[in-house]
Structure 1
Amino acid sequence: MPLEVLTMGRVGVDVYPLQTGVGLAEVTTFGKYLGGSPTNVAVAAARYGHSAAVITKTGRDPFGDFVRTALDGYGVDTRFVGTS
């Protein structure tokens, strides 16, 4: 199937505290979430039923693994996600 949306740029892992109403020193757990503007656009397109992919690169590490798994989970094509 041809791609309807192809974005290019930074992919990231956003880390947010899971506690509210406390200072950073009191936070004990964090959640990790897929981030980066081009990635967010591709995910939004996929959620609306469009075929989407991201051109980006990750490290060969657990963050890169997380990014690929998360993109797959959202239905974003990962064939253009390189590894360095």
Structure 2
Amino acid sequence: MPPFVIAVAQTPITADPRENGSAIRSAMDRAAGRGARLIQFPEGALSGYAREQIHSWQDVDWDLIGAELDEVTELAGRLRLARRHHDRAGAAR
């Protein structure tokens, strides 16, 4: 049985989900190219999380984050990476 390769990624985290999503997808491509089947990203890697970045959760563009998450999930499928996340209602996908 071949080994199950796990990658740990630290991408730049900004207040812009588009920029974060692009960095995440780039890291996914690199890790999958090196044989990874699972990649661990830090909390807030897509949405941003620091107080300097997000002053109020009401200011967060949740639809944009959802669209970026869909792109990340789609790429994970194409790269044959393990994938699981929770939607806004808390349901596992």
Identify, as 1 or 2, the structure richer in strand.
1
Identify, as 1 or 2, the structure richer in helix.
2
Tell me the TM-score normalised to structure 1 length. 0.45
